[in-house]
Structure 1
């Protein structure tokens, strides 16, 4: 898949979306083919580092007490959830849901992971937001920096992959770099590489999707019809 096709699609995606009063995100949407999701080895679940970053800071929450909670505050993490807070959320589903929707990424003390699973697991799991266990003395600045550079790329119950590749405030070249990085991971992860990609699109939050490369995608991947 050539980068010029990606850049053309990004330009088209911008034209397909009206100006909004909020910053829209760019999403990559990949439709898969000849891909059996019932086989465990075909499941895709990867963290992809975006070369140009996500384009906006992620909201990070720390489920912690003691030293880790203090270190999280010093690192600029504003949302700190204690063990007592977790226990209150067992009976306050509204607050639990509000927290899960507000935070993009959670970290947690290893000793609180079991409590997190029982209390917030049903909400966090489907959203790919289960906390990353972090030791009390871990360098949180490095963790925060990484979380602002990565996206989760995964398949669920449909042969489709969708993930953020930037924001409309970013340059087209930056969006292109990020998008190509995700496609490269998919190429390496999928059994037939690009041959498993039926079509790929890029779109802004409120805009219509723009097809990347037209039928050239299938031709380049060797999976197109004659």
Structure 2
């Protein structure tokens, strides 16, 4: 499969025209024979890409005290506990933050408050924070999340996963794709047989089919 992935990646990059911005490289995955109306069958996984996404991944941390001080060294946004209710009252600002940042972390004691105040905004976006022990250093987890992508089907059989950017080496993009497909295979009852097709494409380029078998 690895050679087929690399061939498809190279073709997708070669066929994409030059743009005035750095295009992402994405997978379009189509499932088959999976009843996605049943929530437990839906795909909702986080995958650590071996070579990262090739672009900045923004992380927000809900924290106070020592954890907040440490978070300022690595996170893109630090939200103090007293700001949580203010955000809940300013839905527009809360939605803007939820859309701008890819992942969130929060000190464990704040999780209940965040769920009650901001769950309606963060939950549907799949961005509820991951809990941190009080006083913990969030930076190791932040660095992991910066190489992480979310693979989420919801109730649709077709979904997309970012796997790199056009300026990355094709070999590294191919290895990222292989990691995503391996993880997806373990989450499907019949593995590769539940995958109808997989395509790779740049943001505005043509889709190229990856031969999985």
Q: Which residue of 2 aligns with 1:133?
A: 131
Q: Which residue of 2 aligns with 1:52?
A: 51
Q: Which residue of 2 aligns with 1:223?
A: none
CA contact (8 A) 1:68 1:135 kept: no
CA contact (8 A) 1:10 1:202 kept: yes
Structure 2 unaligned blocks of 5 or more: none
Structure 1 unaligned blocks of 5 or more: 221-226
CA–CA distance in 2 between the matches of 1:41 and 1:123?
22
CA–CA distance in 2 between the matches of 1:19 and 1:9?
18
Q: Which residue of 2 aligns with 1:205?
A: 203
Q: Which moved more, 1:181-190 or 1:114-123?
A: 114-123
Give 1:40 shift.
4.5
Any residues of structure 2 matched to 1:1-226 within 5 Å, and which?
2-73=1-72, 75-213=73-211, 217=212, 220=213
CA–CA distance in 2 between the matches of 1:55 and 1:189?
25
Give 1:21 shift.
2.4
Give 1:106 shift.
0.8
Matched pairs, number: 213
CA–CA distance in 1 between the matches of 2:208 and 2:99?
28
1:131-163 residue CA offsets vs partner (Å, 9 max, x unmatched): 111113323231122112222222211112321
The alignment yields a C-alpha RMSD, in angstroms, of: 1.7
Q: Which moved more, 1:85-94 or 1:40-49?
A: 40-49
